[in-house]
Structure 1
Amino acid sequence: MQRKSSIDLAGAAGLVTFATMLAFNQVVIKVTNGGIGPVFGAGLRSVLALAALAAWVWLRGIGFAGLRRHWKPGALLGGLFTVEFVCLFLALDLTTVSRASIMLYSMPVWLALIAHFTLPGETLSRRRALGLVLAMAGVVWALYDPQSRGAGDLRGDLLAVCASLAWTGIALTVRLTPISDAPPQTQLFWQLAVSAVALVALAPLFGPLLRDPSAIHWAGLLFQAVCVASLGFLFWLWLISIYPASDVAAFSFLSPVLSVGMGWLLLDEPLGPGTLGALGLVAVGIVLINRRRRVA
């Protein structure tokens, strides 16, 4: 499909749906970690998601075009994907959904900053620079907020920041390397295939593989694999191949807002003025970063 210069109505609706699903996924990961070791769970998710992706490709009869030709950037995508989800699953095992989500969804901040130097047409204006400062101030506020910090863990918060940086690397790799010419299913194949092997191999280094899992933990794992790691990320890769990277990232400000609400509603996490203030700064900052000047 032809690239577009801005988000249209269909793209906005898809991004809102994706943001909501990602927000709920943070809760699902934290619950699933209660029965399955975090890194092992991430590895099983990649294995199941790879199977779901292969089934989807086979049913549609479309194949994995350019699989061998793009093995170098594909391996890089897979490595970044592995780092992202080692960090994210461990983060959600240590800290709250609210705090981890604010850190994770600082991704548009890092993307805007790096895109300023690497992607044409995405320079950092004064307004976008102000947005970056506000968003970063929100992240720092969230890190040091005394009320939510008591329910979280600084190690988990920093791991979530690392996951955010790895996610930024994925977005930039998709845009700046030859794999940008590959269809979304090929890009996702490399991420899932590499991470399936790497995560399962690394899992024993992070404690017991199983933590007395029950039906809800296996159901959570299945949701992550099918709805998020395969079809969900396939959809996200498709969107970022059509719309400007920063415009796609802009909608991610919805995910921390929704994640904080779901953490409070479903997990009874603390929701004080510090968390809300930090969340507000991050959200406003992301909007300013990604708001484009209208041309008369």
Structure 2
Amino acid sequence: MNDRKPVDAAAVAIMIVLCAIWGSQQVAIKLVAGAMSPLLQMGLRSGLAGLATLAIVLWRGEGRVINRQTLAPGLAIGLLFGTEFLLAGEALRFTSASHVTIYLYTAPIGAALALGLLRPDERLRAGQWVGIALSFAGVVLAFSGGKEGAGYPDGRLGDALALGGAFGWACTTLVLRNSSLANAPASVTLFYQLMGAFVLCTLAAPVLGETAVSLTAPLLASMAFQVVVVAFLSYLTWYALLRRYSAARLGVLSFMTPMFGVAAGVIVLGDKLDAAFIGGALMILAGIIIVSTADALPARLFKRRFRPAVNS
């Protein structure tokens, strides 16, 4: 039974704000990377936001869901979510925020492909395979500009790390869809993810020699934005929308995020974009939209629905 409302003007307005927030987070991290490494920023923000999420879980009486049944998949998604953050944080050291944002958003394509192959009820239609092929070709094209397009000497390494982060995100989606967490409260799932990212990133930071911190006003402002607005309020707002509106329609709107991310990178950080990256990015986004809008297109094209996975 689906009692969720169709997306209305209020939902669209909220999604625009959320996408602007999510798109700007890589820029906020990159902007103060000289004062604290991106990896350490991601670890600390996840830990603080995780504690706030735990408070919400306990206040709602959902603590009983953190039990033996959800612990194993919870640890798994925590590890995978932490891997995504670790690789994304390291990617920001080597390439632009714009590149990291675009490559991370290839994750829904990977999740769609894996679910289509593993689950009969998620089998992809012919047109969706076209979308996957288009996104893959876009990655190849965008990656061909790599070093020169980002303006970084190790740009291709950073791009590859961002793609690795996307793989971690896609695997997180697979675990969520195929475990007891599929029916768990979203706040509990978010708690597992955030605490996994906190543990993995903060442990990796000293191993990689990235513990130096210089307390500055911009760093404190950025961390406040990341913890309170990005990792806590925006995710809880997203889950509140999912309880009220169609997940598939909201998922399509969420793909405004990379556009906001690229725009913020260019405007705030002066990211350089070459023709190969721009063309590839457009192909990636077009492919994602094709795969994710099966239920919005004529039935003769797609008879099965695919609900896009969105990063929590």
* AA of the residue aligned to 1:107: A
Flag structure 1 segments of 5+ consecutive residues without an equivalent: none
Deviation, structure 1 residue 229: 1.8
CA RMSD of superposed structures (Å): 2.6
Check whether the contact 1:108–1:252 (CA below 8 A) recurs between aligned residues: no
> Separation in 2 of the partners of 1:4 and 1:109?
27
Q: Show the 5 A alignment for 1:56-205.
A: 56-57=56-57, 60-68=59-67, 69-119=69-119, 121-145=121-145, 147-151=148-152, 153-205=155-207
Secondary structure in 1 aligned to 2:65?
coil
Deviation, structure 1 residue 12: 4.7
* AA of the residue aligned to 1:255: T
Aligned residue number for residue 308 of structure 2 = none
Q: Does 1:19 align with 2:19?
A: yes
1:31-84 CA deviation, whole Å, 9 max, x = no partner?
1322112322222111211222234445x5444341013101111111111101
* AA of the residue aligned to 1:26: Q
Deviation, structure 1 residue 121: 4.2
> Separation in 1 of the partners of 2:52 and 2:244?
24
Check whether the contact 1:103–1:160 (CA below 8 A) recurs between aligned residues: yes
Aligned residue number for residue 233 of structure 2 = 231
> Separation in 1 of the partners of 2:255 and 2:151?
25
Aligned residue number for residue 307 of structure 2 = none
Secondary structure in 2 aligned to 1:33?
coil
* AA of the residue aligned to 1:148: G
Aligned positions, number: 294
Aligned residue number for residue 256 of structure 1 = 258
Check whether the contact 1:65–1:186 (CA below 8 A) recurs between aligned residues: no
TM-score, normalising length: structure 1 = 0.88
Check whether the contact 1:143–1:149 (CA below 8 A) recurs between aligned residues: no
Check whether the contact 1:99–1:143 (CA below 8 A) recurs between aligned residues: no
Flag structure 2 segments of 5+ consecutive residues without an equivalent: 301-312
The alpha-carbon distance between structure 1 residues 125 and 4, as it changes in their structure 2 partners (threshold 3 A), is farther
> Separation in 2 of the partners of 1:197 and 1:30?
21
Check whether the contact 1:132–1:289 (CA below 8 A) recurs between aligned residues: yes
Deviates more, 1:85-94 or 1:252-261: 252-261
> Separation in 2 of the partners of 1:284 and 1:184?
28
Check whether the contact 1:48–1:222 (CA below 8 A) recurs between aligned residues: no
TM-score, normalising length: structure 2 = 0.84
Question: Sequence identity of aligned pairs in percent?
Answer: 29
> Separation in 2 of the partners of 1:291 and 1:120?
19
> Separation in 2 of the partners of 1:105 and 1:226?
23
> Separation in 1 of the partners of 2:240 and 2:64?
15
The alpha-carbon distance between structure 1 residues 159 and 252, as it changes in their structure 2 partners (threshold 3 A), is farther
> Separation in 1 of the partners of 2:90 and 2:233?
23
Secondary structure in 2 aligned to 1:159?
helix
* AA of the residue aligned to 1:131: G
Deviates more, 1:184-193 or 1:81-90: 184-193
Check whether the contact 2:5–2:244 (CA below 8 A) recurs between aligned residues: no
